[in-house]
Amino acid sequence: MDETQHDLPAEERHVPVLLATSVELLVPALQEPGSVYVDATLGMAGHATAVLHAAPHARLVGIDRDPEALALARTRLDREGVGDRATLVHATYDEIPEVLEELGLPGAHGVMMDLGLSSFQIDTTDRGFSYSVDAPLDMRMDTASDGPTAADLLRDLPEAEIARILHDLGDERFAKRIAHRIVEQRQTAPLTRSGELVELLDRAIPGASKASGGHPAKRTFQALRIAVNEELEILASAIESALDCLHVGGRIVVESYHSGEDRLVKTAFARRTRSSAPPGLPVELEEHKPSFAPVVRGALKADETERGSNSRAASVRLRALTRTRSAERAH
């Protein structure tokens, strides 16, 4: 993206995926005055702004682990005239229960999770997320943290672990080959910049495989970002926390962009929508009934028009549930 676009308002830099669908799914749960809408991955507040406009009685609790994104979101919400209904919190989204407790809120009526990398982070060229711009290999969403950077992982991890990350988190077919090249390279000069990694990938991936499937660096950069930020570990905990915090009648919408993310969401949702009645029981008792029900069937995808106009929409999978009962049960 052109550097001048950093000066554009947030809404002109990023169009949220499946925006109208997300709003339509969430708004029915946010009709009562004081309804609490948790946007657990606030980003540049695209979903949050649209939901607040469509649900004028709701208040927003916006969570993001990136302080720069929070500042940008605050500016946008104020400019849109909904900032007085928004509380923004610097946290990871598995901390939803703690955030709500600190604010004195007993739960949420709506929760949104738009997973993966925001356009803001891709466009911030000095963070190393993008394979199209040379920058330090950082990839931390929260640069204030003291966690390892992508460069640290590539310098310190064993070859087998690098290969596992690339294969499992990036669906990279040539994971072992790339990992071997990385370990060879670091014996003389460890990789510290995104441009160096792109050059190595260009050499490591066979020419015939570069003709399809997008940029050859895409899968490796995705895998490293997920590993650096422990995204799947946090997501697994966050989904359970979000489901637990929902009031009866509340709704959760999750958008995933990676097979590992969607698998976690699908599994957690299936567990909460399944009866716990023992096999062969003639009548399902009340305590065996599931506490959630699907709002959409399976996973929704973006239509051809949106996929053509928004590159992030190509891989999206949207799943949504509503809470049907409050009784606690094993899950």
CB 116 within 8 A of CB 261: yes
Please give the distance of CA 87 from its chain centroid, rounded to a whole number. Answer: 20
Task: Name the pairing type of β-strands 86-90 and 59-64.
Answer: parallel
37: left (phi over 0), alpha (psi -120 to 50) or beta: beta
- Are 36 and 107 spatial neighbours (Cβ–Cβ below 8 Å)? yes
Quote the CA–CA distance of 118 and 259 in Å, as a whole number: 17
The residues, ordered by sequence, that sit 6+ positions from 114 with a Cβ below 8 Å of its Cβ are 16, 17, 22, 41, 43, 47, 255
In the chain, what's the furthest Cα-to-Cα distance?
69
Residue 275 CA to residue 288 CA, distance in Å, equals 6
The residues with which 252 forms a beta bridge, in sequence order, are 111, 321
Rounded (5°) CA angle 282-283-286: 155
Per-residue DSSP letter, 213: S
Annotated binding site for S-adenosyl-L-methionine: 45-47, 64, 93, 114, 121
DSSP 110-166: EEEEE-S--HHHHH-GGGS--SSS--BS---SSTTS-S--HHHHHHHS-HHHHHHHH
DSSP for 1-30? --GGGGGS-HHHH---TTHHHHHHHHGGGG
Binding site members: 45-47, 64, 93, 114, 121
CA dist., res. 1 & res. 200, Å (int): 23
- Residues, the chain: 331
